[in-house]
Each structure stands twice: as structure tokens, then as C-alpha cells.
Structure 1
């Protein structure tokens, strides 16, 4: 594995972007439509990385499978309508992206979020033109934790997988990056609940803040070399 990544790839929800406020708001609008009480933000936040199905199941735990699918469809309609009201880069991420670009590195996103949500969101935030890779959950037939999306991102950046470092806040993120031959980092600011044992994910490191990447890189390079 390369000791110096030439590209940084991010999971989207809970790693690059704090999408939880908008996804929580959409879920509460869905609950209101169904005459149910809203859920507090803290009860929803750490489920966001697991996608719309997990959120709808959280809100409607007693719904049969067929109803859950209908609710999920409606939830996505509501969310897509107000996709980027409160969503923003996590604190420190803007400075990190500027530094990545200043060093001549490439960066991008590999997410399980479908392209019809991913691409408008990145465009709304002005990020898409800066990116070398955008891989969504429906870009291929397989999604994370399969390594195929990671390899597609590497083809988009034009660099070998070993020259990439992938950041995520879910075990499937780390599994996908490792399977693809990339170095991997856990975004500790992400949507990780207390019941998850990140020590067992096998990542190359844990970042408490995006800016910690540079210190990790120095340590990783020394240890590997």
C-alpha cells in the first residue's frame, strides 16, 4: 500500500456532510402525515448513515414490509423536496478540502445514497465541480461493503486504489475500503451510536476532527516506512 495517499475519498452522510438535520426534518414530516408524534433529533441522528429504510423502520417499527416500502417512497419524496436546507460540510471539512486541493491531491465521494439525491445535493453545495470522483449507491449493481464502488472511484480519479484513503462512519465503509486495497479512517464525528464497537472495524485510524488527517498521515507514513 502506498504510504502517501494521492486521493481522499469520503462517505457522504455522516462523514463529509452533516445531512442529519434535513433527513430528520423529512422523517418528522412523514410522521405528521401519518398522525404520529415527532421523533427527537438525538433519537434519529445516528441512524442516518444506515439509509432511508432504517429511518422509516425506526419511525414505524410496527409497519409490515409492504407498508414500510410505501412509507420509504414517500419519505424520499419529502426529503428530495427539501434536500439542502440545513445540510452542510462538517466543521473543519472546508479547510481540509482546501488543503487537499492545495497539495494537488484529488478527492471524491463513494456513498450508498442514490444518484438522484447525491448529485443535486453536491451541486447545491457547490462541491461537484471540485470533485474527481462521485460514486452513488446505484452507480453499479453492487454497493458498499462491496469493493466495486471503491474501484470505480479509483478509475475516476485515475489513481491506483492503494493511493487512496477512504473515510467513513460505518463498518461497511471500512470493509469496502479495506477490500479495495485502500487505507481507511473512521470519522468519529459521524453517525456512530454507542452500541457500535469501532475497534473491531479494522480501520487504519480514527479521526476526531477532519484536520487531524495531517497528523495521522505523518504517523502512518513513519510506521509504514
Structure 2
């Protein structure tokens, strides 16, 4: 397809799209194993499951699913560990800072729509200089719904005083594309994030794919 037209703002998923938080998430889970006398696992085992949050980390660390009676307690322990370390190794992906600068030079605003809860997303973004120009932050518990429901994207558009059609949504997970398409936004799959080896991005229905953050610029029509 040709470049998107009429775009006034770009909305991004957070983990796996703008920032690489996998090292801190993995450390929080692995700390639980070590505390129980279990051997540490290689980071490479955790990384592909980062996009699934606590559910993914507990699956790797303990083979535990959400239906396990111990899961709520383990999840809260994981959350506490993560809160204590969430900015230690987390960094923006390469090219992200340049991309955001380029968007602003083009007169485009940008924001974040994440399933990360406000408990973590607000302090994390406040501690990273990258987000000083973020015009809207919608978290997994900001509205009554989280992605793949489109309501968080609608909320971001409202905060920017734009229609959904004036927004582009970029994410690295199928639920991001489901939400973006349901919201009526141009939807771009970021394939440089935490995709597992079995991910088939072509089945997501995205309008476009990018292999690096700066690849987004080719999909934006000149102002």
C-alpha cells in the first residue's frame, strides 16, 4: 500500500516497540527462582516471552500458568521485584529517539498505549527522558478495557483531540494490530520487538510492517 495520509499523531505500544524492558523483566522473574534455590535461567529463554508480561515470565521461570492456585501470589512477588529494578537495564530500542525527534520535526505528536498497568508505566516513563515529549499515556488499567479491545486507543485519540483515523498505531504484538484495526487506525507491526520464533506477522492484518523504528518514516506521507 502507499504511505498513510492525514496522520496527525503516532501512538506506540511500549514494551517491545519503544523500549527494551526484557532484561529487567527477566531479572525480576529469575530472582524468584534463585530465592527458591533453583538455578538461574539464561536470559535468552525469557526474552521471547517478554510481551506476555507476568504470565509469560512465570511460564518460563516455573512452568506456571494463570490457572495455578499459586499464580496470584507469584505474580505479586514478580511485580514487587520488577518495581524495584524496572529502570536498571531498560533502554529505548536503537533509532527510537531519532524517530520521535523526526516525528516532532514533521509536526506530529506521539503517545503511548500499553497494557502495562499505571503502577509501572507511569513511574517508568517519568524516569526516562525519552518520554518528556509524550503527549498521551494510556495504560492497561486506564480504561475499563485493555488491548486487544480498541477502547484504550479511542481514549488516546480523545486525549489528543483527534479522530482515530488521524492516528497511527505501532506495536509488536498481534493484540496491538487487533486493537488498532478495530479502532479504525492505520496499524503498523513492529517486527524488531519480542516476536517469538513462531510468530506469523502476515496473519495479523497489519497495514504495514517495519523492521526497525526509522522504517516507519517511509510510511508517513510528507506533510
Instruction: Answer yes or no: same fold by TM over 0.5.
Output: yes
CA drift at 1:127: 3.6
Q: Determine which of 204, 209, 212 is the counterpart of 2:207.
A: 204
Alpha-carbon displacement from aligned partner over 1:114-173 (angstroms, at most 9, x marks no partner):
001001110110244311110001101110000000000001111110011111111000
Alpha-carbon contact 1:119-1:128 (below 8 Å) kept: no
Q: Determine which of 86, 89, 103 is the counterpart of 1:86.
A: 89
CA drift at 1:62: 5.1
Please state if 1:188 is matched with 2:191.
yes
Question: Partner of 2:103 in structure 1?
Answer: 100
Alpha-carbon displacement from aligned partner over 1:158-216 (angstroms, at most 9, x marks no partner):
11100111111110000000000000111111000111111100001110111111212
Q: CA RMSD in A?
A: 1.5
Question: Partner of 1:48 in structure 2?
Answer: 50
Q: Determine which of 169, 174, 177 is the counterpart of 2:172.
A: 169
Please state if 1:72 is matched with 2:66.
no
SS at match of 2:129: coil
Q: TM-score, normalised by structure 2?
A: 0.93
CA drift at 1:78: 0.4
Q: Distance in 2 between matches of 1:17 and 1:33?
A: 28
Please state if 1:109 is matched with 2:112.
yes
| Count of matched residue pairs | 218
Structure 1 spans left out of the alignment, 5+ residues: none
Q: Distance in 2 between matches of 1:153 and 1:93?
A: 20
Q: TM-score, normalised by structure 1?
A: 0.93
SS at match of 2:124: helix
Q: Determine which of 23, 26, 29 is the counterpart of 1:27.
A: 29
Q: Distance in 2 between matches of 1:50 and 1:40?
A: 18
Question: Partner of 1:57 in structure 2?
Answer: 59
Question: Partner of 2:155 in structure 1?
Answer: 152
SS at match of 2:111: strand
SS at match of 1:186: strand
CA drift at 1:4: 3.1
Alpha-carbon contact 2:12-2:112 (below 8 Å) kept: yes
Structure 2 spans left out of the alignment, 5+ residues: none
Alpha-carbon displacement from aligned partner over 1:10-38 (angstroms, at most 9, x marks no partner):
11110010000111111111111122122
